[in-house]
């Protein structure tokens, strides 16, 4: 009897410890997802216009799952210490539901990340940047978002186009319909700017003289934050779920051994 008592005590201790870790991870997950949802790099308009913004949906789910994990971990600690069968069963059922949501969030983030290829952003940039006629209000809002985001991206990161300024020369675009190739082989923001925000030499920029235009593409500046976002949500969630799996198994075993 003393041995099984010891074993029960050890199991209780492990479960309490497991729940403490789950609680802390829940807080961390909430904080991380709030950070991503707050759109620190200003890239959300690009994703919204492509219709591929599900990594943000995954982050939203992550916020609520984090809170749920915190609350449930406290419930779990109370239930394990009191050895109350009803509380433990409630804990297990609710944890399983939270587990399912978090699983959805991880898989969504990982899957949607695969859709964010250079061609996706290239096509959207060519079809929306500086589009003058909008079909409806929603279209207009998305077009303005895309244009502002690209202008800011090209200015801040000293880059041009998705893979380079030749994107503007190789493909026709909405921009090309309103800006002639002779004056604007590429948008003005592709030129190297001075402190006042105007190109240091327009002729050099138009001809492509090295040093007067930005010759590298913006894809790195876009994919870096997107990758951090998607992998942060997906892999951290995955790690939490692996830990939670063991805690839940232990709790189910404990529940089946507890006497009424």
Partner 1 sequence: MCSCWVVLAFCCLGQLCAGQNLKPQIAAPQLATNNPTLTTVALEKPFCMFDSSLYPNKSYVIYLYAMKELASAISSLVTTTNSKPLNSTFQQTSGGKLGPYKAAMFNVPNCASPPKFTDVGDANKVSDVLKQYLFRVGDDGTCLYDPNFLAVCNPPLTPDTTYRFKYVLVDSTEGIMKDQTLWSDPIKTRRAKLPLKIDTWPGQRSGGMIVITSILSVLMFLLLAGLLASVSSAVMGSEASSAERKHMSQTIQQSELRPQLSSE
> Could you list the residues that contact partner 1 (CB under 8 A)?
92, 96, 99-100, 103, 106-107, 110-111, 113-115, 117, 119-120, 122-123, 126-127, 165, 169-173, 176, 180-183, 185, 200-201, 203-204, 206-213, 215, 231, 234-235, 238, 241-242, 245, 248-249, 252-253, 255-256
167: helix, strand or coil: helix
What's the CA gap between 171 and 45, in Å, rounded? 22
Which residue, 34 or 107, is less far from partner 1 as judged by CB? 107
Q: Report the distance separating Cα 90 and Cα 78, nearest Å.
A: 12
What's the min distance (Å) between Cβ of 203 and partner 1? 5
Instruction: State both tokens at 6.
Output: 């010891």
Q: Measured from the CB atom, is 14 or 38 closer to partner 1?
A: 14
Residue 227 C-beta: closest distance to partner 1, Å: 10
d(C-alpha 94, C-alpha 104), whole Å = 16
Query: Smallest gap, in angstroms, from Cβ of residue 171 to partner 1?
Result: 5
Angle at 36 between CA 30 and CA 41, to 5 degrees: 160
Quote the least distance from Cβ 106 to partner 1, whole Å.
Answer: 6
Smallest gap, in angstroms, from Cβ of residue 26 to partner 1?
17
The residue among 39 and 215 lying less far from partner 1, judged by its C-beta, is 215
Report the residue number, 135 or 182, with the smaller CB distance to partner 1: 182
Measured distance CA(140)–CA(122) in Å, rounded? 19
What span, in angstroms and rounded, lies between the C-alpha atoms of 237 and 71?
Answer: 17
Q: How far is CA 193 from CA 33, 169, 188, 209, in A?
A: 35, 21, 9, 14
Closest distance of CB 1 from partner 1, Å: 18
Q: Which is nearer to partner 1, 150 or 212 (CB)?
A: 212
Rounded CA separation 27/66 (Å): 6
With respect to partner 1, which residue has the nearer C-beta, 74 or 92? Answer: 92
């Amino acid at each position: 009897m003393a041995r099984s008592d010891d074993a029960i005590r050890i199991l209780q201790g492990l479960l309490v410890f497991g729940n403490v870790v789950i609680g802390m991870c829940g807080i961390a997950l909430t904080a991380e997802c709030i950070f991503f949802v707050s759109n620190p790099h200003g890239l959300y308009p690009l994703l919204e216009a492509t219709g591929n913004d599900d990594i943000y949906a995954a982050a939203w789910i992550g916020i609520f799952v984090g809170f749920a994990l915190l609350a449930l971990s406290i419930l779990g600690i109370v239930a394990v210490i009191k050895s109350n069968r009803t509380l433990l069963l409630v804990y297990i059922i609710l944890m399983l539901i939270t587990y399912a949501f978090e699983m959805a969030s991880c898989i969504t983030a990982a899957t949607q990340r695969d859709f964010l290829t250079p061609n996706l952003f290239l096509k959207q940039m060519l079809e929306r940047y500086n589009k003058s006629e909008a079909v409806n209000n929603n279209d207009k809002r998305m077009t303005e978002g895309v244009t502002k985001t690209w202008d800011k991206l090209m200015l801040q990161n000293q880059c041009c186009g998705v893979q380079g300024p030749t994107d503007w020369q190789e493909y026709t675009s909405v921009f090309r319909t309103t800006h002639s190739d002779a004056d604007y082989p590429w948008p003005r923001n592709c030129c190297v700017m001075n402190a006042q925000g105007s190109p240091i030499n327009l002729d050099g920029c138009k001809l492509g003289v090295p040093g007067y235009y930005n010759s590298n593409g913006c894809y790195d500046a876009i994919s870096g934050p997107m990758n951090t976002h998607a992998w942060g949500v997906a892999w951290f969630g995955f790690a939490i779920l692996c830990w939670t799996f063991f805690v839940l198994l232990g709790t189910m075993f404990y529940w089946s051994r507890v006497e009424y």
